[in-house]
Amino acid sequence: MQSVIVHYQEIALKGRNRPWFVERLVSNIRSATADLGVLRIRSLMGRIEVQYESDEHWDEVRERLSRLPGIANFSKAVRSKCDFDVIAETALAELADVEVESFRVTAKRADKRFPLRSPEIERQLGGRIKAARGWRVDLERPELTVRVETLTDEAFCYLRKEPGAGGLPSGVSGRVACLLSGGIDSPVAAYRMVKRGCRVRLIHFHSYPILSHTSQDKVAEIAERLTRSQLDTRLYVVAFGDIQRQVVLAVPAPLRVVVYRRLMMRIAERIGRASGAMALVTGEAVGQVASQTLENMSVIDSVTSMPVLRPLVGMDKEEIIREAREIGTYEISIIPDEDCCTLFTPKHPATKARERQVEAAEQALGVDPLVDEAVASAVRREFTFPAK
């Protein structure tokens, strides 16, 4: 049997909500590792222990845990009785195949009834390891850190810390609806909200069959990626091509981008509300493209009474790209495809759309039936991880 010790950080700070946050994390870990021979998951004095059958699953366990929000770090650990001699024996056995020049021991005593204080555990265990292996103790820059955590009945020993995704466990912060294009930015925006514990519904507008099916394939793949972190994802796919054609007929070219966005917002608000979302999310950043000015953002936001969250608002493109690479959406986003908005987009969109002009144009267009129709025709897809 193997153990993994999972540490959470931020959720430890959440006061009276803490047990609920931890339960959520435990249940997310359970779902994420459901098919990996996990025997037991339990919350243990400020950490979580995951027990699983065999070492052959470790790589996959590691991969999956590293993507789950709410985990600060985790470690493959061996468990022993909470008795100093047994702990020392266990640690020495763990070190049997290890060869280093310098090391230190770092101990944490969770149950203060354990007779040795942490510094004493460190000193005494360090002494035994030094005597057995001849390695030099180096407290500042050790090549290896042997970590020991003593609880009430058991102790854990481990040698490596794997970085977690950070953030909050999926599901503790309520639902949002993210407008997801096939581009680089919005997947990162969606991920950031997943990481803050939100359940992120995705809404994609496509112009199929005027344009290819690529954008829908891309967002499905992006949804799959995000599902590895939030474990289930609902994607709504909305036909937008006809609406765009009508906008082209009724709206002066410089105002079209803002009108498209306002229509997207209205449709997303309706779909979002119906699925319990409390806010809308976009991948916009101030000044990134001509249409993403503060003026335009305010004209776009005024069609909805929901908060519009823009998690990337202050980021540079370079930073966004770096993050997209880290979360694995970049490679999908750069697959060439015609954006539904570039097809009908003028070369020089208004950077300071006036709300009154936009409203007049929308009056001529007649937005309500367009929104109704789009909402009614939205197609829903569900993603779960691990896939059923």
Query: Rule CB under 6 A: is residue 340 a binding residue for ligand ATP?
Result: yes
The interface region with ligand ATP, picked from 8-16, 67-75, 161-169, 173-181 by CB under 6 A, is 173-181
Q: Which is nearer to ligand ATP, 159 or 202 (CB)?
A: 202
Name the residue with tokens 């909200």.
Answer: 193
| 166: Cα separation from own chain's centroid | 9
Residues 6+ away with beta carbon under 8 Å from 385 = 31, 32, 224, 227, 228, 231, 232
Q: Rounded to an integer, what distance in angstroms lies between the CA atom of residue 57 and that of residue 68?
A: 17
Q: Pick what 2 binds: ligand ATP, Mg ion, none; C-beta below 5 to 8 Å, kind-dependent.
A: none
Q: How many CA atoms lie within 13 A of 366 on its CB side?
A: 6
Q: Is the dihedral of CA 244, 247, 252, 258 positive or negative?
A: negative
Q: Pick what 340 binds: ligand ATP, Mg ion, none; C-beta below 5 to 8 Å, kind-dependent.
A: ligand ATP
Structural contact between residues 296 and 284, judged by C-beta atoms closer than 8 angstroms: no
**Tokens linked to 28:** 């997310």
Q: Which is nearer to Mg ion, 147 or 218 (CB)?
A: 218
Q: Which is nearer to ligand ATP, 148 or 251 (CB)?
A: 251
Phi-psi map region of 122: left, alpha, beta (phi>0 left; psi -120 to 50 alpha)? alpha
Smallest distance from the beta carbon of 183 to Mg ion, in angstroms? 3
The residue sitting closest to ligand ATP, measured at its beta carbon, is 183
Which residues in the 270-289 window bind ligand ATP by CB under 6 A? Answer: 282-284, 288-289
Q: Which is nearer to Mg ion, 164 or 183 (CB)?
A: 183
Smallest distance from the beta carbon of 137 to ligand ATP, in angstroms? 51
Which residues in the 80-139 window bind ligand ATP by CB under 6 A? Answer: none
Smallest distance from the beta carbon of 318 to Mg ion, in angstroms? 17
**Tokens linked to 329:** 């959406």
Q: Rounded to an integer, what distance in angstroms lies between the CA atom of residue 258 and that of residue 295?
A: 10
Among 87, 341, 365, 371, binds ligand ATP (CB under 6 A): 341
- 166 three-class SS: strand
Q: Which is nearer to Mg ion, 172 or 184 (CB)?
A: 184
The residues of the shown chain that bind Mg ion, judged by CB under 5 A, are 181, 183
The residues of the shown chain that bind ligand ATP, judged by CB under 6 A, are 179-181, 183-186, 204-205, 264, 282-284, 288-289, 291-292, 340-341
